[in-house]
Structure formats: C-alpha cells, structure tokens
Amino acid sequence: MDRIRIVGGNSLNGVIPISGAKNAALPLMIASLLTDDTLTLENVPHLADVEQLIRILGNHGVDYSVNGRRQAQDSAYSRTIHFTARNIVDTTAPYELVSKMRASFWVIGPLIARMGKARVSLPGGCAIGTRPVDLFIDGLKALGVEIEIDGGYVNASAPNGIQAGRYEFPKVSVGATHVLLMAASLARGTVEIHNAACEPEVANLADCLNAMGARISGAGTPTIIIEGVDALSGARHRVLPDRIETGTYAMAVAMAGGDVVLEDTNASLLENALDTLRQAGTEVIPTNSGIHVRRNGAGLEAVDVMTDPFPGFPTDLQAQFMALMTRAKGTSQITETIFENRFMHVQELARLGADISLSGQTATVRGVDALNGAQVMATDLRASVSLVIAGLAAEGETIVNRVYHLDRGFERLEEKLTRCGATVERLSS
C-alpha cells in the first residue's frame, strides 16, 4: 500500500493548476444515463473515484472514450471524456460496485427517469457518518416513484414516468438535490424543489442538463423549478474548478508560508473559506485566472469556524483548516454541523504534536510552537490531506499511510506540491 513521505520546513512558491471538481464531475458523468446521445465533459480530473464511476456506468452500458493530452501540455491538466449511453443494458447497480463509492447511488435518478425502474444497492463510502438515503427516497416518492427496500437494495419503479410534484427537503442535501434534478428533467409536468442545496456543483449540473435540453431555473438558490421534457440530447460541458482543492492548497500555503498562484480557479466558489484565511493572517488576492495566496512567515491568528452548507464554510475543508489552526497563536474552536463523525483526523494530528480536545461536535485547537514529524494514518479523503498540510510545517519527516484516500480526490498532489518547493514523495509498497 502506497505511503506519502513529507519533510517539513520548506515554503511553497510557484504556480499550482487547479483540477476539475470531483464533486461536480461525478453527477455530470451520471447524467450521461439520461440520453442516448454523447455527453462530452471537459476538465474531468484523473481520480480513483472517477475511474470507479466509469466502471459502474459501464455496468449499465455506458461507453466512454478519453481525449489524450498533447505531450507539451501540463501533465496536471484534466481530461476530456465522451460518455455514450445509447443502450442501457442493466438497471441494477450491484453492492460490490456501489459499496465502494457513495456517489454511485445517484444513478437511481436517471435510471428511473429514462428506464422506469432501478435496483440500486444501499451505498458505502467514507466513514464520516451514516449519511442515510432517506431524503433521496422521500424526494423520489414525491415525484410518483414507488420504492421498496429489500435485502440491502432500493427497488424503485415509475411505470408511468416521473410525475409533476413538489418536494421540500427537511435538511439540505447536495446528493439528493443532484438526484432529484436529474430525475425531474424527464418529468411529465413541472417539479418544484424547495430547500435545495445551493452548492456551485448543483448549478454546474443544472447548466449541463439545460445544455442537454432540460428546462431548469433557480439552480444555485433554495428553490429550483424543473419543467420536464420528453427527452434530452447530447451536449458539451466543462466541469467547474475544484473549490475544495483550491481551498486545500490555499491552506497549505498559509501553513508552510510562501507565495503561490492557484491557476484555473475562481474565488467566488469559496469566498467564506478565503475570508477565513484572511482573518488568519494570509494574503488572498483574486486574479483574472485564479487566486494569489501569500504568507510572509508572520504568525497565524486563531479563528473560530462552523461548517455550513454553501455559501458557508465547507465541511470538506474543515480538517485542512484544523491542521492550519494547530500552529496559530491562541485558541480556535471548530464546529462540525454536517457530518457527525468528521473528527477522525484529530488523533492523527495529535501524533504530530497538536493540542486538540473534543466536546461533542466542537474541536478546541490550542496553537503550538511546533509540530514534529511522525507516522500517521489517513482515515478518509479530507482527513488525509490535512495530515499532508500539517506535515509541510512539521519538523522532520512525516509518513502518511493509506493514501488511497488521497487518490480519490486529489489529482497529482505530490507533483503539484513538489513543483512549488515542498519535499513530498510517494513511497510505493
């Protein structure tokens, strides 16, 4: 099993290209099930989760092809992939595939909309909470879908198609919003979704569906209106920049010090997180093509944070920010409101010398003068990169084990950091 070795103490200086967003690419790929034409997606990141979803879509009969990069291009750039679901050969998403990645459960929406039925295994994914599928099921039922859960599978049918309806989420859910958007695109009538997720990835999916012929308005706000159409066509669409990768590298610069331009990204995607970094003493300047991040070595300031749905502070940046606060002057409090088990990185940061105590869903972080390298273990995707960030500032050598979590969500992480002066290398088993 691969590991990552980090020798701390080097500042980061240079340019880091930001890849396409995993959290946008996955629902866009699944949307290819809605049409028998080709859906072409640009800026798709090369990640383990993307490759896994390609296998899952292939199980349903989706063909794909990848445009190769020219040799002169930056090797960190993402890909263009063409998806064609001309014939759906299987409406079952089996346990052995779905259990490996939670987002693959989302195929239930387009399969029901296009084929009138779906049999999808209950999902797996990162160990950061139970994340039940109740909202998905209740939302689909509101659109006339008949659902039965049996033997660990969700059996869904809509012999008369997706019906017009109204659904209000009792709690904001990005994944369930994605599923209802896709299903409702082929509804017989108008569908209203209230208390919908406002994340940029939702708006990106709606833009793609509209390019395919859907009639969606209000995506990116709490109220989305979908006027169902009879069929969708192919389209060409670009995956938006990864705001979580953007914030992660911005926090890495804040942790290690230095001067880095984050290219091919947009500050509007994570304004709350960037404002928090400014409060912590980091210079953050939006540019025409990205974001300029700089910290001159002055001490970091402690800042309190509470995670919230967009436009609040992202839960997917909570672990990274906690790593940063371990070196801040004073005490910060970090409260997690989205997932109940998302503090598994605390004990690993403590191995590096961090002073963190937990009380319910709040972590109290007392800044320390120095961190010291150690062997640590990744527990989930975002926790794993928080250990990399801590290792950049730790004295000596840090070894991060179980980095397959990193490969699920960060494209060429060690290459991007190394180009900016960090000592980071992958150790293959």
Residue 134 assigned as binding residue? yes
- Residue 174 assigned to a binding site: yes
> In what helix (H) or strand (E) does residue 53 lie, and over which residues does it extend?
helix 48-60
What's the 3-state SS for 17-66? ECCECHHHHHHHHHHHHHCCCEEEEEEECCCHHHHHHHHHHHHHCCEEEE
Q: For 415, phi and psi rounded to 5 degrees?
A: -65, -45
As to burial, measured by CB atoms within 10 angstroms (0-12 exposed, 13-18 middle, 19+ buried), residue 129 is: middle
Residue 117 annotated as lining a ligand binding site: no
Q: Binding residue per annotation — 366?
A: no
The residue type at 146 = E
What share of residues in the chain are helix, strand, coil (percent, to 5)?
A: 35, 30, 35
For residue 338, say whether it is annotated as part of any ligand binding site.
Answer: yes
Q: State yes or no: 386 annotated in a binding site.
A: no
Residue 42 identity: E
**Which residue among 126, 198, 208, 420 is the active-site one?**
126
Does the annotation list 173 as a binding residue?
Answer: yes
Residue 238 annotated as lining a ligand binding site: no
CB atoms within 10 A of CB 282: 23
> Does 102 carry a binding-site annotation?
yes
Measure the CA–CA gap between 339 and 419, rounded to whole angstroms: 34
Q: Show the tokens assigned to 329.
A: 């002057």
**In contact, 228 and 189? CB cutoff 8 Å:** yes
Question: How many helices (DSSP H) and strands (DSSP E) are in the chain?
Answer: 14, 24
Q: 200-209 burial string, b = 16+ CB within 10 Å, else e?
A: bbbbbbbbbb
Q: Is 171 annotated as a binding residue?
A: yes
DSSP string, 280-304: TT-EEEE-SSEEEEEE-SPPPBP--
Active site residue 208: no
- Where is the binding site for phosphoenolpyruvate, in residues? 22-23
Which residues are catalytic, by number? 126
- Where is the binding site for UDP-N-acetyl-alpha-D-glucosamine, in residues? 102, 131-135, 171-174, 316, 338
- Where is the binding site, in residues? 22-23, 102, 131-135, 171-174, 316, 338
